[in-house]
Amino acid sequence: MAAQDPLFPESAVIHGVTVRRAALTGTEQADLLGEIQDIARVSRPFSLMTGWGKPMSVKMTAAGRFCWFSDRRGYRYIEAHPETNAAFPPIPALALAVWSQFETRVPPDCCLINYYGEGARMGLHQDRDEADFGYPVVSISLGDPALFRIGGIERKDPTRSFWLESGDAMVLQGDNRLAFHGIDRIKFGGSGLLPKGGRLNLTLRRVAEA
């Protein structure tokens, strides 16, 4: 059952997670998509290997100082594109505005950009490579709907799921900051936002010590 969050009348707390439905208007979603397309032209999305040597179905790139990275050596943040060695472009202002609806103490220094094509998913994981878990992870969804799954801070804890739609913002903070989470599947073609279908997810984080 969804309950109202007193801080944001439009927000709901779903399975303990604050979800702000339609945090971005249709026009803002289209504008942000344009900015992400510009970023992806200079900072091409790449495929990562998990620590187990399996390729991930999601393609990634980033804006801001840091990008999350994974290979056989493990998980870490990097400060240059793995193929071009260039720094990542600045975080779009619209994404920064969504972050500041949830966190005003520090700006984010990483906006991870995940692209989900047909059949892509993301296995259950924790976001725990950042310096200070006192800062949230703020997620913005664009394009096709995605079934988001969230559990507790132990992998074996029970999980629940709900759909994230284009324009929704969601925040992992407090008790949920280290909760296991992932994407079970997307409804490919379920939104007209991306011309060729698929979903973009932006996760804003504070990676370095503030």
Positions touching Fe ion (CB under 5 A) are 127
- Nearer residue to ligand SIN within complex by CB, 43 or 114: 114
Alpha helices, H only, the chain:
26-42, 93-100
Q: State the nearest-atom distance from the C-beta of 181 to Fe ion, in Å.
A: 6
Which entry of ligand SIN, Fe ion, none binds 150, CB below 5 to 8 A by partner kind?
Answer: none
CB of residue 57 vs Fe ion: minimum separation in angstroms? Answer: 14
**28 vs 162 by CB, closer to Fe ion:** 162
Interacting partner of 122 out of Fe ion, ligand SIN, none (Cβ under 5 to 8 A depending on kind): ligand SIN
Provide the b/e sequence for 143-169 (b: ≥16 CB within 10 Å).
Answer: bbbbebbbbeeeeeeebebbebbbbbb
Q: Which is nearer to ligand SIN, 135 or 148 (CB)?
A: 148
DSSP 130: S
* Sites of contact with ligand SIN (CB under 6 A): 114, 122, 139, 146, 148, 164, 181, 183, 201, 203
* C-alpha pair distances (Å), 28 with each of 39, 76, 140, 144: 16, 31, 12, 16
CA angle 143, 68, 49 (to 5 degrees): 90
Q: To the nearest whole angstrom, how small is the minimum distance from the Cβ of residue 137 to ligand SIN? A: 8
Instruction: State the nearest-atom distance from the C-beta of 182 to ligand SIN, in Å.
Output: 7
